[in-house]
Amino acid sequence: MSPGPAAAIAAAVRAGERSAASAVQESLTAIAAGADLGAFNAVTAEAALARAEAIDSAVAAGEDPGPLAGVPVALKDNICTRGTPTTCSSRILEGWEPPYDATVVDLLNAAGAVVVGKTNMDEFAMGSSTENSAFGPTRNPHDPGRVPGGSSGGSAAAVAGGLTPLALASDTGGSIRQPAALCGIVGMKPTYGRVSRYGLVAFASSLDQIGPMARTVTDAALLYSVIAGHDPLDSTSIPEPVGNLNGALAGDVDGLRVGIVTELCGEGIDGDVLARLEAAAGALASAGAEVGEVSVPAAVFGLSAYFLIAPAEASSNLARYDGVRYGLRVPAPGAVDMNVATRTAGFGDEVKRRIMLGSFALSAGYYEAYYGKALKVRTLVMRDFAAAYERFDVLLAPTSPSVAFRFGERTANPLTMYLSDVCTVASNLAGHPAISVPFGSGADGLPVGVQVMAPALGEDVMFRAAAALERLLPGTQPAAARAGSAGAVTKGTAP
């Protein structure tokens, strides 16, 4: 039996109605049975069971372990865990054990959660399919012949496959939301600075954000509430309190202004995905929301700007892997030769590609033409989103341009793979929160995710719309699949 929803597990453990040990053992059994998915790089069974027993002892003594009491949680393998390897699915960090825990890990422990292992990912979070892992790919639980998305494919597969009820992952350009959509689960990227990045191995520091993956919006909100908040160890952490999301989760959408982003619904988005987006918009309209189209013009340049800014920051962040301080070292006659040999052996092709792209963008004579211009586009994206939010409370768009694709289908052409993130990168550039919610199926019966975006610190209204979509799904009928952009839907229109 796979573990139940996180909120139910925690409530039962806190009430003494079931043991944390049983919940953790169920998860460990499911992980072992689902080993063929390749979701985990490491399973910390012994430590997890010991932690669960300690939680049960606390409950027996009349103590409250916290809002995630006994809930098994998986961590993406770029989140530092003391004494447990944190590899970023790269040979250059294979076997490296951090001497400290990330802030989010401390918060999980304080909330009574139980970490059961580290999940597979695209190397250093660079990819959209989890095919770039040095330790082999992760498979989609809905079809093992297809990718789970990336870079957080291991976390997504763990939740979608029933191995754990919750997982943490990171999102730099869509790495939580896109695999959530492809695996049919909920994945949320918070406002930049809402969740501490202390202990997250950096890819692109101005874009990275840790967020939750879960099977329900309620569970995602629960996990987000635990990890969000100010952290003095993160200089970019936002000091404002998070607040209680219970009201948002229970609220209706009557009068909520919902804008469909036209630039994210055009060429390159499959018809079956647009059909589900249209159905979602119609469902919200039938529930009383005011739904219409909105333009975010600079969003069409988001992918181009992202693939200059992110590799530029990555080329700087990954310079620390030199064979001297930690990780892999390949012996060579001199320091320079050792550095080159280590990085050549330790990094995979995609990581090398992005380091070279970023180094070029930052090089003398090209900095202003490429990186500088990308930063200007980023400002335009922020301005256009700000204008859109003057008219609408939340924005709606596809999460992924297609359902899960087959292994090897996009590896030969990096540009084709990069287009997997075309709908998600804009929220990272703007620093805004966004969430992917499953809303039916598309081609071959595979899941389709609808993305709800909100302004900075707008998690409450984002969760309000997301929870409504989740409630509205059972009675929603898919619109006829068609090419082109989703049409405008007005208040009261049926899906």
Give CA 256 to chain center in angstroms: 26
The backbone torsions φ and ψ at residue 153, rounded to the nearest 5 degrees and listed phi first, read -65, -35
Choose, from 27, 76, 118, 420, the residue flagged as catalytic.
Answer: 76
Helix (H, G, I), strand (E, B) or coil at 124: helix
Q: Do residues 167 and 119 touch, judged by C-beta distance below 8 A?
A: yes
What is the rounded CA–CA span in Å between residue 103 and residue 123? Answer: 22
- Give the C-alpha separation, 282 to 475, whole Å: 11
Whether 19 sits among the annotated catalytic residues: the reply is no
Strands 40-43 and 114-119: antiparallel
The region, left, alpha or beta by phi > 0 then psi within -120 to 50, assigned to residue 35 is alpha
| Inter-helix orientation angle 6-14/217-227, to 10° | 60
Q: Which amino acid is at 112?
A: G
**From the candidates 151, 196, 225, 485, which is the catalytic residue?**
151
Contacts of residue 453, Cβ cutoff 8 Å, sequence gap at least 6: 261, 394, 395, 396, 397, 427, 432, 433, 434, 462
Hunting for tokens 């084709």 — which residue is that? 416
- CA dist 436 and 175 (Å) reads 11
Task: Give the β-pairing of 72-76 and 166-170.
Answer: parallel
DSSP run (H or E) holding 339: helix 335-346
Q: Which residues of 473-488 are buried (b: 16+ CB within 10 A; e: fewer)?
A: beebebbeeeeebbee
Among 133, 175, 237, 286, which one carries the catalytic annotation?
175
Look up residue 119 and give its DSSP letter: E
- Which among 467, 464, 383 is positioned nearest to 426, based on CA atoms? 383
User: Is there a catalytic annotation at residue 316?
Assistant: no
Classify the phi-psi angles of 84: left when phi > 0, otherwise alpha if psi is within -120 to 50, otherwise beta.
beta
Tokens of 52: 């669960």
Longest CA–CA separation in the chain, Å: 73
Q: Can 90 be counted among the known catalytic residues? A: no
Q: How far is CA 321 from CA 28, 327, 340, 343, in A?
A: 33, 7, 10, 7
Q: Are the beta carbons of 418 and 307 closer than 8 angstroms?
A: yes
Just list the catalytic residues: 76, 151, 175
